[in-house]
Structure 1
Amino acid sequence: MTSRVIVVTNCTNRKRAGYGTVALTAADMRGSLSSVAARWGRAIKKAPPSDQAQDIYMGRAFSEARQVTTTLGGTLHIISAGLGVVGAAEEIPSYNLTVADGDNSLKPLLTQLGKRPSDWWMALTAELGQQRSVRALLENNTDALALFALPGSYIALIAEDLASLTQWQLSRVRIITSAHGRTLVPEHARHVALPYDERLEGSSYAGTRTDFPQRALRHFVEALTGHQLSIDDARRSVSAAMHALAKPVIPARERKTDSEILALLRKNWDRFDGASARLLRYLRDEALVACEQSRFRNLWHRLQQDLANEG
């Protein structure tokens, strides 16, 4: 196998806010996909750089990808719904756009137009330039193995780009995603998607659903030295590793309203010194409350602000 490795991960909703964040208004989100992409492209091209990409994105998923990149002495690249493919050291503007749920999401527009996330990606890269595509990334790194660690939503985003790759290009690609994410990989590329599944949670690489691909990436590199294996050996190695693990039993958790969760967080704030990670573990493991990570983060920030105003 090649000795040079590039790591490709997804952008995150958690970003360090910069000056003059680029976003689309409700009026901007009207019209055809190409017209929206054109408005977005003009706004992005006019926006001044805020910081290097690696200093803007935050969260465990991004940290895991950075750690693996450092371990391998490789380079890190990010799939961004707003910028296309960007290098970690590239200076980018502060922006807010996503194909996932959340603020400034493209999902309502895509639903309205009957379009797929991959349609947005193709419109975006046509507007910003084909150098922002996955295909261009591989063409510019012909001597490297590319490790893609992406959730299903980002596999769906770049699906057509992946479908355009030649078999020779795919021979230098490993795709690490969830079991659901593998179903979204184009059929002719599915053989390079590694068979990771929820049994990974029974290992020392356990975590949350949002950072599953990046944790699996770290397992692949650290536990299996998979970046040194052929695709067939890599698939066999991952299958054997998953077979040796047992999926942990997830306790039944109760759904509660935002107000009920805020009350629990407020009551236990001092007990856990306001630490978000410890409060989330309390909610899930002790209070047995179902709360998705992004929802918890929003509630935690709201309570933090309320407590600061009260003080």
Structure 2
Amino acid sequence: MSVMYNDFLILTNCTGRKRAGGQAITLSPTSLRGPLLSIAESWRRATTLAPRTRTAEQTYVGRSFAEARKISAHLGAQLFILSAGLGIVAANELVPHYDLTVVNGSNSVRPLLSNLGLETSDWWAALLTAFGKERSLRSLVETHPNSLVLVALPSSYLEMVAADLEELSDLELKRVRIFSSAKGRTVVSNRVRSVVLPYDDRLEGSEFPGTRNDFAQRALRHFTETLGAQRLSLLGAESAVLTALAVMNSRQIPIRARKTDAEIMKLLTSKWGKFDGSSTRLLRYLRDDELVACEQSRFRNLWLAVGQQLANGK
């Protein structure tokens, strides 16, 4: 069941966390007028005029991106990033400092799309019209005809490019392996779903436990490092994954309480000194010790606010 793929390509999603590089470009209120294509074109012009001092690999931070880098190094594979603001970019490409996402939170494109009665897939189509089809997922697969393309995306990003994936020919699709959550499997067509590997919450019982945000990348790391299944046929790879998951137990997720922003900030303030302001340790304290429900992007905004308050002596 082995196949002869000697070249591999990793596609991961961009992250909300980025290394600071001056004032970030955002969708300004004046650019939000008119049809979506005009808004996307206005965004393209803004990013084109912005300075580019860091590569994509130097810009994005967070565990999901760190895992993708590890897999890329392990396989000697080229690394690409699917960006909601730039299309698909290579890891070594210089990129502007920007803030735009398709997940809920600050500087999300979702409110704009909701007001227009559109979906994130419409934003992706408009973005490709503005930036060029060479930024598409289909173009990435087409221009690497000898590579197995390993795609690790959360459901929000997979939903955004579902139509792009659908444009792949049957032969091109056979060279794709997709890693996402159980929800991610539901946002693509049956045809594309045939190349989504059957990972589920039992992955938390492996040597790669983590959060929802980095599930796709952890699944890919398990697939490549533990199973070495990137050299197997699709059927062989699916069988290897199911066999591995069969001996794992799903992690029991504790019931966490919901609290207001003010209540969470009070908790963070009380333990700021104990954890030296570490965002990672404070998030673990909040979730594991206080059993408080707090999505990562929301936590980061509150953590930044507390840090600012403490710096100002409030």
Q: d(CA) in 2 for partners of 1:41 and 1:57?
A: 20
Distance 2:49 2:291 in 1: 47
Unpaired runs of 5+ in structure 2?
none
Counterpart position of 1:195: 198
Distance 2:112 2:84 in 1: 14
- Tell me, in whole angstroms, the C-alpha distance in 2 between the residues paired with 1:285 and 1:200: 19
State the Cα distance separating 1:276 from its structure 2 match.
1.8
Q: Could you tell me whether the CA contact under 8 Å between 1:176 and 1:194 is conserved in 2?
A: yes
Structure 1 contact 30–109 (Cα < 8 Å) conserved: no
> For 1:78, what is the secondary structure of its paired residue?
strand
Find the aligned partners of 2:113 and 2:250 in 1 and give their Cα distance: 35
Q: What corresponds to 1:119 in structure 2?
A: 122
The residue number in structure 1 matching 2:282 is 279
Select 1:206's aligned residue among 201, 205, 209: 209
Percent of aligned positions that are identical: 51
Q: How does 1:221-260 map to 2 (within 5 A)?
A: 221-260=224-263
CA distance in 2, matches of 1:50, 1:36: 25
Q: Which 10-residue stretch deviates more, 19-28 or 48-57?
A: 19-28
Structure 1 residue 104: Cα displacement? 2.1
The answer on 1:183 being equivalent to 2:186 is yes
**Corresponding residue to 2:94 among 91, 96, 104:** 91
Q: Cα RMSD over matched residues? A: 1.3
| Cα offsets for 1:188-233 (capped at 9, x unmatched) | 1111000111111122211111111011111111111111111111
Letter in 1 for 2:141: L
Q: What CA distance in whole angstroms lies between the structure 2 residues aligned with 1:36 and 1:294?
A: 25
Letter in structure 1 aligned against 2:258 = R
TM-score by length of 2: 0.96
Letter in 2 for 1:255: R
Q: Which of 7, 13, 16 pairs up with 2:16?
A: 13
The residue that corresponds to 1:160 in the other structure is 163
Residues 43 and 273 (structure 1), Cα distance of their counterparts in 2 relative to 1, 3 Å cut: closer
Q: Distance in 2 between matches of 1:125 and 1:139?
A: 16
Find the aligned partners of 1:75 and 1:132 in 2 and give their Cα distance. 16
Is the contact made by 2:32 and 2:112 (CA closer than 8 Å) also made in structure 1?
yes
| Counterpart-to-counterpart distance in 2, 1:120 and 1:265 | 36
> Which residue identity does 1:14 align to in structure 2?
R
**Which residue in 2 is equivalent to 1:29?**
32
With normalisation by structure 1, the TM-score equals 0.96
* Equivalent residue in structure 2 for 1:58, among 61, 69, 78: 61
What stretches of structure 1 of length at least 5 have no aligned partner? none
- AA aligned opposite 1:116: E
1:36-55 map, 5 Å? 36-55=39-58
Query: CA shift at 1:20, angstroms?
Result: 4.3
DSSP 3-state at the match of 2:306: helix
> Contact (CA 8 Å) 2:105, 2:298: kept in 1 or not?
no
Matched residues, number: 311
1:130 paired residue among 114, 133, 136: 133
Deviations 1:227-262 (CA, angstroms, capped at 9, x unpaired): 111111111111122221111111211111111111
| SS at 2:255 equivalent | coil
Determine the structure 2 residue equivalent to 1:173.
Answer: 176
Q: Which moved more, 1:33-42 or 1:69-78?
A: 33-42
